[in-house]
Amino acid sequence: MKFSHIFFLSAVTLCMLGAGCSQSNKKQKSIQSNIDSVAIFSLKKGQINKQVTFPAELTPVNRAEIYAKVSGYINEFKVDIGDDVRKGEVLAILDAPEVISNYAQVYSDKQAAYSKYRTSLDAYKRFLKASKVSGTIAEEEMEKSKNLMFSDSSALEAAKSKLNATSQLKDYLTIRAPFNGIITQRNFDPGTLVGANNSKPLLIIENIEVLRLRIPVPEEYTMAIPDTSVTKFTVDAQPGKIYSAILSRKSGSVNLVNRTEIWEYLYQNRDNQLKSGMFATASIRFKREELSFLVPESAVVTNLEKRFVIRLKDNKAEFIDVKNGISQDDKIEIFGKLSEGDTLLLRGTDEIKPGTKLFGKKLMNPIIR
């Protein structure tokens, strides 16, 4: 009986110990199950090297809208649309009788002023010659003759200036080409009354020997460097033919409406192969001078408040604000208070709160190909 009692106590003790161990194991497993397991990767820098296509437009290197400087009737057009013209060539002639009449009147006034000046000048010269003999000419008469000569001289200069201005108006009746180019538009016919207040120009002339390829580059690419100054482009009219243009200038500012900067390339339009106003598709390959942080797009979280990635530090989640840069394949460039070697969540979500304990499962670095 004594042995059976001892055996019973031992069995009870072992059962209690076993139950305690079982409860301890369950508690430990419960604690571990409360820590989520997440996919992570180590942050490293990579090289931005991306080719992007943009819509573009071809514009002439020079374009002028020709208006009538003075009011008059179109007497004759010397050119029509499609005509090649040279600088200084007559494009149109206007008829304005009042301008011609005014010019004749001003020219007559100038001739009268010249005659008056010549008379007072001759009188002054005779007085000056006679004054060499003492007492011949009174000093007051001499001074009066001199002042009259200066007055007539000033009147003559004023008449000349007025004649020049009137002559310029008369010259405006003959409209000439401001540069070499082609006439691309004519809006009026002979006999039409035109003037400076017309809403449409008489003619439009364009120089298409060189064409400007204007590309609106989005803001995120404006600080990147094209790998070459040459861009390849196609036009909708000839989608199978590739043309090349050379970078000439950048606008230097971002448009506040569409957040783009205009990059301008020049194309030597030999034999007028392309037309101004054509739409084009241009491709530019971008790169950065320095390496950048590249992460999978799934690592960046964007909500109504901010854009961030989740960094894992001491098994706790941290939100790090970032700004996006250039996207490349399935990765995106980010900027923020990050360091190479930081551990980031591969799939970020705002359902995870800062300070949440996480168990990171290391993956092969998704940045290195």
pLDDT in tens, 264-288: 999 999 888 899 999 999 999 888 8
24 pLDDT above the threshold of 70: no
pLDDT > 90 in the chain, percent: 37
368 pLDDT above the threshold of 90: no
Query: What pTM value is reported for the model?
Result: 0.66
Interatomic CA distance for residues 89 and 336, integer angstroms = 61
**Which residue has 């390496």 as its token pair?**
291
Q: What is the pLDDT of residue 36?
A: 64
Q: What is the pLDDT of residue 291?
A: 86
Interatomic CA distance for residues 55 and 279, integer angstroms = 7
What residues contact residue 15 under an 8 Å CB cut-off, 6+ apart?
A: none
| Minimum mean pLDDT range among 5-14, 137-146, 232-241 | 5-14
Measured between alpha carbons, how far is residue 168 from residues 16, 37, 65, 103, 162 in Å? 119, 86, 20, 10, 10
Give φ, ψ of 322 to 5 degrees.
-140, 165
pLDDT class for 305, splitting at 50, 70, 90?
A: confident
The span from the first CA to the last CA of the chain, in angstroms, equals 77
Question: Exposed e or buried b for every residue in 36-74, given b needs 16+ CB within 10 A?
Answer: eebebbbbbebebebebebebbbbbbbbbebbbebebeb
Mean pLDDT of 139-155: 86
Asked if residues 44 and 296 have their Cβ atoms less than 8 Å apart, the reply is no
Q: What is the pLDDT of residue 4?
A: 44
Looking at per-residue pLDDT, the higher value among 328 and 174 belongs to: 174
CATH superfamily of 36-61+208-369: Efflux pump adaptor protein, beta barrel domain (2.40.30.170)
Give φ, ψ of 269 to 5 degrees.
-85, 70
Q: What is the pLDDT of residue 188?
A: 93
